Structure 1
């Protein structure tokens, strides 16, 4: 059975990365693959750039990290639904489903 309405940016994914980071490159490929199947709002944050000290303190040694929020949430927080390090398309979609509830 199909949904009566399509997914219309019901989620926002915030991708926390740094350079160099091989796991981040793999994670970005997973995120791009999910986006081809299911649209979402997207923001990418390099935790090492100036202005992102809050995220550097939280994730400097834990990238890649993604936060999944409802698209209408004002901004992401450390209490958001998240995946860290290694994840697959199915993991991302399951968390998107949970965020949309």
Structure 2
């Protein structure tokens, strides 16, 4: 295989259309989709079992589930002892992208505001 180095960005851009002709249309669609899609924010739910308030909170999140990735953290597991010490009396607790969002009950106004803000942030 011959490796080619480009002295200028313009050299690379002139070669790009030639390369794209050899890529299957399905692959191009995948490339376009993956390049254009935003990464969804991560909503972390700190919980334990049983937790009726957590179950209620998850139900309230249903209408928004397409706008984030839900990550549940069981605070009773040994590897989550830091979270247990911090939140043992306050679950459910929610973080959005690693930052505290809310606790005890889902506040839809706060959730909508922070999700909208994260959706406007540049990729």
TM-score by length of 1: 0.70
In the alignment, what sits opposite 2:117?
98
Query: Does 2:51 align with 1:21?
Result: yes
CA distance in 1, matches of 2:95, 2:113: 13
In the alignment, what sits opposite 1:31?
61
Change (3 A) 1:54 1:91: same
Number of matched residues? 85
- Structure 1 unaligned residues grouped into runs of 5+: 1-5, 70-75
Runs (4+) off by over 2 Å: 6-10, 88-91, 97-101
Query: Does 2:113 align with 1:85?
Result: no
The structure, 1 or 2, with the larger RCO (C-alpha pairs under 8 Å, 6+ apart) is 1
Deviations 1:4-59 (A, max 9, x none): xx984431100111122211111111222211xx4212210011112101110111
Root mean square deviation of aligned Cα: 2.2
The structure with more strand, counted as a fraction of residues: 1
Query: Does 2:80 align with 1:52?
Result: yes
User: What's the secondary structure of 1:81's corresponding residue?
Assistant: strand
TM-score by length of 2: 0.59
- Structure 2 unaligned residues grouped into runs of 5+: 1-35
Query: Does 2:56 align with 1:12?
Result: no
Query: Does 2:92 align with 1:64?
Result: yes
